[in-house]
Amino acid sequence: MSKTANPQKAEGVLIENTEIGVVVRQEIVSMIPPLLANIKDNYRILDLCAAPGSKTSEILDLMQAQNTINSLPRGCLVANDVNEKRCGTLNHQMARFAHPGFAVTCCDGSMLPEKLKYDLVFADVPCSGDGTIRKAFDIWKRWSYNDGVQLHRLQIKLLKKSLLLLKQSGHLVYSTCSLNPLENEAVVASILYEYPEKFELVPVKPPLGLIKNDGLTSWSVPIRRKDNSNYLDKSSKTEIASTDSAQSSIEQPQMSPAIKLLESLIN
């Protein structure tokens, strides 16, 4: 806006249209997960970790885009977040959009009742955020590979609950703002290891011609020494750790993928 003839006026127009819901400001990377899903207007959709709401508004927009002006919505969208303050922000953001099939809940995502099943679940889970260093420079100063280790179990817990909330043949989009495989591939590998017959990865076609890479098939796992210091165990890259080594690991052994799971991470 600094290049416009009147940046203050342009900013005012932007703020005014944002407040009435005409404009939604959203980072490009945040727009990708909803575009990967085949959203239908009659779907029952859950956004598990929804705040502050930009992704939620995109999901709702994709649902509404399939309705005619005079038609009533056939689907619904539930947006949840565990943080009460962030839920307030989410509620404020979404109040601009009139949709009778939208609801906000504030609770631990892993405790949501399984009675209500969804066609589609978005699990943009809490993460270290190390993929946002380009805009959040302070992350680099305090970064540690232990960040991913400490979040790994929570991410598995939320992903597991998300899958249990799906209808038969439903789909889930799992995403983080991290580049750490312990928060991404290792989490997915853990679920596939625990439920080999129930769930499978679905190949995705990148939207708008975006370039994608295959999932990683090897990564190092932090192991805790007896003196309580850590080192990266590169020997456990391609096998599930034994019981003994699992006890010495900071977290569970599925941080190291089983060989039979590796190929499924490439799609």
Q: Is 98 annotated as a binding residue?
A: no
Residue ranges of the chain whose pLDDT lies below 70: 1-5, 21, 69, 223-267
Q: Is 124 annotated as a binding residue?
A: yes
List, for residues 139-193, the tens digit of each pLDDT value: 888 888 788 888 999 999 999 999 999 999 999 999 999 999 999 999 999 998 8
Burial readout 52-84 (b: 16 or more C-beta within 10 A, e: otherwise): bbbbbbbbbebbbeeeeeeeebebbbbbbbbee
Q: Would you say 233 is a known binding-site residue?
A: no
For the whole model, what pTM was predicted?
A: 0.82
Is position 3 annotated in a ligand binding site? Answer: no
What SS3 class is residue 45?
strand
Contact present, 155 and 185 (Cβ < 8 Å): no
Which among 76, 87, 127, 177 is annotated as catalytic? 177
What is the model's pLDDT at position 96?
83
53 has binding-site annotation: yes
Q: What is the pLDDT of residue 87?
A: 94
Closest CA to 56 of 19, 100, 88, 26: 26
The answer to the question of whether 175 is labelled as a binding residue is no
Q: What is the DSSP string of 68-137?
A: -TTPPP--EEEEEES-HHHHHHHHHHHTTS--TTEEEEES-GGG--SSS-EEEEEEE-----GGGTTT-T
- Chain-centroid distance of CA 240 in Å reads 25
To the query of whether residue 177 is one of the catalytic residues in this protein, the response is: yes
The DSSP line for 122-135 is EEE-----GGGTTT
Q: Domains of the chain by range and CATH?
A: 28-206 (3.40.50.150)
CA neighbor of 51 nearest in space, from 100, 98, 85, 99: 85
- The answer to whether the annotation marks 51 as part of a ligand binding site is yes
- Rounded distance between C-alpha atoms, residue 236 and residue 125, angstroms: 26
Question: Residue 5: its pLDDT value, please?
Answer: 66
